[in-house]
Structure 1
């Protein structure tokens, strides 16, 4: 979500993009993702997992882990330890049930935390993933600096984020989906109006080249920026500068 929209208060007093807001939609969050993304979100996560280029025994930090979809995908694909961090207790509660059901409780740990102030030492993790969460961070540059700090030299950082194509037929279709379909379907399924913030947050998120420049300014060397599904989503892959 954009910094501007975070200051708005949805019904019930929860601020957009906060852990409190996501507590309110946690039980329907996975269904909403499947419907709103037309079922494509799991494939996007698999692409992010591959981009981490993990070795057995690695420690991976999954920021904005939510209901642990990406954390589970990483642990299923590789014999690694995953630490999932999120500000929403409600989302983590759903995630813990999913981790237990997947038989991954020994390798996936979920805890409350803030991407802007990680409780981890320098160069303490081998890789970082983050799916559809950087929009919701008030100080994105600070969060990116934290990623650069806690990732070991040569480790990979993979960030997935929604994007709004700016031109062409796909751009028109994507804008219609974001501005009309997402708020209507999200509200209908969840019974809450918080999902209406998506149209604003996606539109306000910087274009891929600008966000890549923000990453560079935070001490990351951007390895590639990969548009997915004709630019509806972007995968940013980086490593700490100097690695």
Structure 2
């Protein structure tokens, strides 16, 4: 990687982690997601919701909630309270409109917040979800430790994240999509360059095996790592504890 690339990567991570990057694309974020994922992102979120094994009355913390897609999916299918946290005011503004339109304002609460420093007590939530957000957190280890801290014993942590398939035709197709199609479509629809950051952030993200080990190091017991759509996305399911 060139020196320019080395300098730009941390800046991109800081902007993404602070929410600044997403404020500018908030109004078109959902459209971009549907087009770039070819509509598959909704199915990935449904799989994450099922993995939480929720019971009525549970409290769920949805980190990097963005425009509240996952928070709404959880509240629509389960009688639970969802607290959605995100650093981007712009994304949350879109999310609040969607929550109101879905008639879920009484059960979905959206707040500005940081996954690295959660203002919640120990063992205070029954489950945590996070879709396509951990990659943008500058201090991943700290965020994972916070997840382990605030989730009750026996609760579930479900993290969805993009990954690059290793080897084979699928790997080549995924790389072409991420490095060529995504920046082009993202720029064309949003009129901005933020989606060029996506290709670099995916390339820098650890392999599924490495990330699972990071989760273990943060005090989470990994129950399973589930590749979706031939490894384009991985679902990590864990619970607080060692092992």
Regarding TM over 0.5, the answer is yes
- Residue by residue over 1:54-102, the C-alpha shift from the partner in whole angstroms, topping out at 9 and shown as x without a partner, is 0000000000000000000000010000000000000000000000000
Partner SS state of residue 174, structure 2: helix
Q: 1:4 to 1:195 in 2, by over 3 A?
A: same
Paired position in structure 2 for 1:103 = 103
What is the TM-score normalised by the length of structure 2? 0.95
Cα distance between partner residues in 1 of 2:121 and 2:178:
38
CA contact (8 A) 1:18 1:136 kept: no
Paired position in structure 2 for 1:214 = 214
Cα distance between partner residues in 1 of 2:12 and 2:211:
24
- Please tell me the root mean square deviation across aligned C-alpha atoms, in Å: 1.7
In the alignment, structure 1 residue 74 sits paired with structure 2 residue 74: yes
Partner SS state of residue 9, structure 2: helix
Paired position in structure 1 for 2:33 = 33
Partner SS state of residue 29, structure 1: helix
Structure 2 gaps of 5+ residues are 1-5
Partner SS state of residue 239, structure 2: strand
Paired position in structure 2 for 1:7 = 11
Cα distance between partner residues in 1 of 2:178 and 2:95:
26
Cα distance between partner residues in 2 of 1:232 and 1:146:
27
Cα distance between partner residues in 2 of 1:238 and 1:230:
21
CA contact (8 A) 1:148 1:240 kept: yes
Cα distance between partner residues in 1 of 2:163 and 2:25:
22
Structure 1 gaps of 5+ residues are none
Cα distance between partner residues in 2 of 1:5 and 1:17:
12
Paired position in structure 2 for 1:162 = 162
CA contact (8 A) 1:6 1:18 kept: no
Cα distance between partner residues in 2 of 1:17 and 1:158:
19
What is the TM-score normalised by the length of structure 1? 0.95
CA contact (8 A) 1:6 1:16 kept: no
Cα distance between partner residues in 1 of 2:37 and 2:7:
23
Cα distance between partner residues in 2 of 1:131 and 1:214:
17
CA contact (8 A) 2:17 2:138 kept: no
Q: 1:63 to 1:78 in 2, by over 3 A?
A: same
Cα distance between partner residues in 2 of 1:226 and 1:16:
26
Cα distance between partner residues in 1 of 2:25 and 2:139:
23
Work out the number of aligned pairs and report it: 238
What's the offset of the Cα at 1:20? 1.0
- Residue by residue over 1:25-64, the C-alpha shift from the partner in whole angstroms, topping out at 9 and shown as x without a partner, is 0000000000000000000000000000000000000000
CA contact (8 A) 2:23 2:89 kept: yes
Cα distance between partner residues in 1 of 2:107 and 2:7:
34
